[in-house]
């Protein structure tokens, strides 16, 4: 398979008249027709609607209208994000899948000219693994269909790698953007907490949820984030002055101070550690100053995130858990039960641990501009051996949901033919620095250009 367009290259080709939105969308539809039975990317797809939106975009260009930031670009939307023209199921039998209107992030993408290709598969309410007893697909990894995509933005990550759309939306509460990005070999960015509104998104844990972009490259993620960011009067967690300027993603690498995080490295396989050290060497050769750093209260924050997540998830689903217990998948029921074991003081302590780490990280970021490390300790696990506790142990992502820092995963190489991700983290609301480091990494390497041998 030839490498699909990036969003950036597609916009250039559209502007130059080398392609049309209809051609891009049709190519994506053809890929979905050929591969989705094997990959389980979509929960809902409407080809007529997508082609109509593409034709409208092409007509605007032909009439000489100034193109909007994502004019004619096909995108996928995770199925916990509300859309007006497609059902939102949360991949759960407990939810009435009736369209109720666009979430602000979807409305902003439409206003920017993007073409919605459909709703992508997830874990039930972004929490539980797929249950074979329920009528939903189990997302498979394009690199090896016997392996998992990662979750919970599973279909978005897989669909980008498979060429079914050029980018899309995911959500991230403990790593759900960055995990499928790493294991599917694409790029995914968890924005700073408070930069992108969550209104119209089915919550997993209010104090931890983030909405953000996935795409083939960091620059593509930046283009999507520039559309998503900004205040919404229905989401008080978003800063009133929250903005993201695409032009800021043009910084210099020379002199950049990068901290190589010891804690996630120590938990990773030798092969993953070697790739991260090679990445650090690449940045150093480009002029960055790299030193090793320790992340404060690393284990305590990771535990606090997962315990707090379970408590907040149970709170949101409490009435349905009581009234519709067996409608939830088995893995979701098991995960929700963890929340029932926590007391009020336990939950408050999880918040205190996270706040302590935020203060300590502010001190660490006085000495470095970025932190890097592995996104996960190893490549994607096999589908026939998915264990929740083992998968959580593989992730090196949830620490940054607990602190709210911006975090990007980009491809950094392969282990046994499977992609693994490099994670890049920056100061709160310095998403531009994080994404620029990812852009520079992808100028220096070609890992993001590798395509799954479907």
Catalytic residues: 78, 152, 176
Give the SS3 label for residue 83.
strand
Please report, for residues 20, 36, 70, 168, 384, the alpha-carbon distance to residue 145 in angstroms, rounded to integers and kept in the order given: 32, 11, 31, 21, 11
Q: Cα–Cα distance between 108 and 326 in angstroms, integer?
A: 37
Region of 371 (left: φ > 0; alpha: ψ -120 to 50; beta: rest) is beta
- Of 88, 74, 167, 184, nearest to 414 by C-alpha is 184
- The long-range contacts involving 345-353, CB below 8 angstroms and separated by at least 24 positions, are 346/307, 346/311, 347/307, 347/308, 347/311, 349/304, 350/304, 350/305, 350/307, 350/308, 350/311, 351/207, 351/304, 351/308, 353/297, 353/300, 353/301, 353/304, 353/402
Q: Cα–Cα distance between 67 and 76 in angstroms, integer?
A: 20
Q: What is the DSSP letter of 320?
A: H
What string of DSSP letters covers 9-49? HHHHHHHHTS--HHHHHHHHHHHHHHHHHHH--EEEE-HHH
Those residues whose C-beta lies under 8 Å from the C-beta of residue 440, and which sit 6 or more positions away, are: 253, 286
Give the SS3 label for residue 420.
strand
Give the SS3 label for residue 446.
coil
Q: Are 407 and 175 in contact (CB under 8 A)?
A: no
Those residues whose C-beta lies under 8 Å from the C-beta of residue 434, and which sit 6 or more positions away, are: 189, 370, 406, 407, 408, 424, 425, 426
Beta partners for 42? 120
Q: Is the bond preceding 152 in cis, omega lying within 30 degrees of 0?
A: yes
- Of 165, 154, 95, nearest to 121 by C-alpha is 154
What string of DSSP letters covers 240-302? TT----GGG-----TT-EEEEEHHHHHTS-HHHHHHHHHHHHHHHHTT-EEEEE--TTHHHHH
């Amino acid at each position: 398979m030839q490498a699909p367009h990036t969003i950036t290259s597609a916009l250039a080709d559209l502007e130059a008249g080398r392609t049309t939105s209809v051609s891009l969308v049709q190519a994506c539809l053809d890929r979905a027709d050929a591969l989705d039975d094997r990959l389980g990317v979509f929960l809902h797809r409407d080809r007529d609607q997508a082609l109509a939106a593409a034709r409208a975009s092409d007509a605007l260009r032909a009439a000489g209208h100034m193109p909007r930031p994502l004019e004619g670009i096909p995108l996928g939307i995770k199925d916990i994000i509300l859309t007006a023209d497609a059902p939102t199921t949360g991949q759960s039998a407990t939810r009435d899948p009736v369209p109720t209107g666009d979430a602000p992030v979807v409305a902003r993408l439409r206003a920017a000219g993007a073409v919605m290709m459909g709703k992508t598969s997830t874990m039930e309410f972004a929490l539980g693994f797929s249950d074979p007893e329920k009528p939903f697909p189990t997302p498979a990894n394009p690199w090896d269909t016997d392996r998992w995509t990662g979750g919970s933005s599973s279909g978005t990550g897989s669909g980008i790698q498979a060429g079914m759309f050029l980018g899309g939306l995911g959500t991230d509460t403990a790593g759900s953007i960055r995990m499928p990005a790493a294991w599917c070999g694409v790029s995914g960015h968890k924005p700073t907490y408070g930069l992108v509104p969550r209104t119209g998104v089915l919550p997993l844990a209010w104090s931890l949820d983030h909405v953000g972009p996935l795409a083939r490259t960091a620059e593509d993620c930046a283009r999507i984030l520039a559309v998503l960011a900004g205040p919404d009067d229905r989401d008080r967690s978003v800063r009133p002055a929250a903005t993201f300027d695409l032009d800021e993603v043009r910084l210099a690498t020379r002199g950049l101070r990068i901290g190589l995080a010891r804690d996630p490295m120590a938990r990773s396989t030798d092969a993953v550690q070697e790739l991260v050290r090679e990445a650090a060497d690449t940045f150093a050769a480009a002029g960055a100053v790299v030193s090793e750093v320790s992340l404060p209260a690393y284990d305590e924050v990771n535990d606090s995130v997962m315990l707090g997540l379970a408590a907040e998830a149970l709170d949101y689903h409490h009435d349905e858990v009581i009234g519709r217990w067996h409608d939830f998948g088995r893995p979701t029921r098991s995960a929700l039960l963890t929340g029932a074991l926590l007391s009020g003081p336990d939950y408050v302590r999880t918040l205190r641990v996270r706040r302590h780490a935020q203060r300590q990280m502010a001190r660490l970021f006085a000495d470095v501009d970025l932190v890097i490390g592995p996104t996960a300790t190893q490549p994607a696990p096999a589908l026939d051996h998915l264990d929740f506790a083992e998968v959580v142990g593989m992730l090196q992502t949830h620490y940054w949901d607990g602190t709210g820092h911006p975090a990007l995963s980009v491809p950094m190489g392969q282990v046994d033919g499977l992609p693994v991700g490099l994670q890049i983290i920056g100061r709160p609301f310095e998403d531009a620095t994080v994404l620029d480091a990812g852009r520079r990494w992808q100028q220096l390497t070609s890992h993001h250009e590798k395509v799954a041998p479907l």
